[in-house]
Amino acid sequence: MTPEEKERLMTPAPPPDAPQLSPTLRMATLTQREENAVVELRRKQACERCADAIRVFTECSSQYTVGVVWKCKEVKDIMNECLRRVNTVEDMDRARTIVLHEKLQKLDEIKDKPRTLI
């Protein structure tokens, strides 16, 4: 594998766009379930952004059983480097902003529903 190809695989795709929120809303607290959704969204985005490196490692690891530890070490290191570059504080904040924006949209929908008294 050439150094250019290694660097191409280690470089993640650009991050998805996040909605702009006011500074006070960015500091809003989320419930534990929403924080778990943030982590899951960040994990999903990391896999999407490093899809090429993950694909190369998957192809290598499908050929071996126990020997995958030694035979695929180089591509595993490339995949891990790509994932390390993706998992930053900025990416976590971007995922948190997306989840918070979705939460605000759901609250707006609920607010506009007519309420009935029982």
Interval 2-53: pLDDT, tens: 777 878 787 777 777 777 766 666 556 778 898 899 999 999 999 999 999 9
4 or 96: whose pLDDT is higher? 96
pTM above 0.85, yes or no: no
Token code pair at residue 70:
């030694």
- Which run of H or E residues covers position 67? none
> CA 112 to CA 109: how far, in whole Å?
5
Tell me the C-alpha to C-alpha distance, in Å, between residue 76 and each of 60, 61, 66: 9, 9, 14
Counting residues of the chain whose pLDDT is more than 70, the rounded percentage is: 90
Tell me the C-alpha to C-alpha distance, in Å, between residue 38 and each of 30, 85, 96: 9, 18, 5
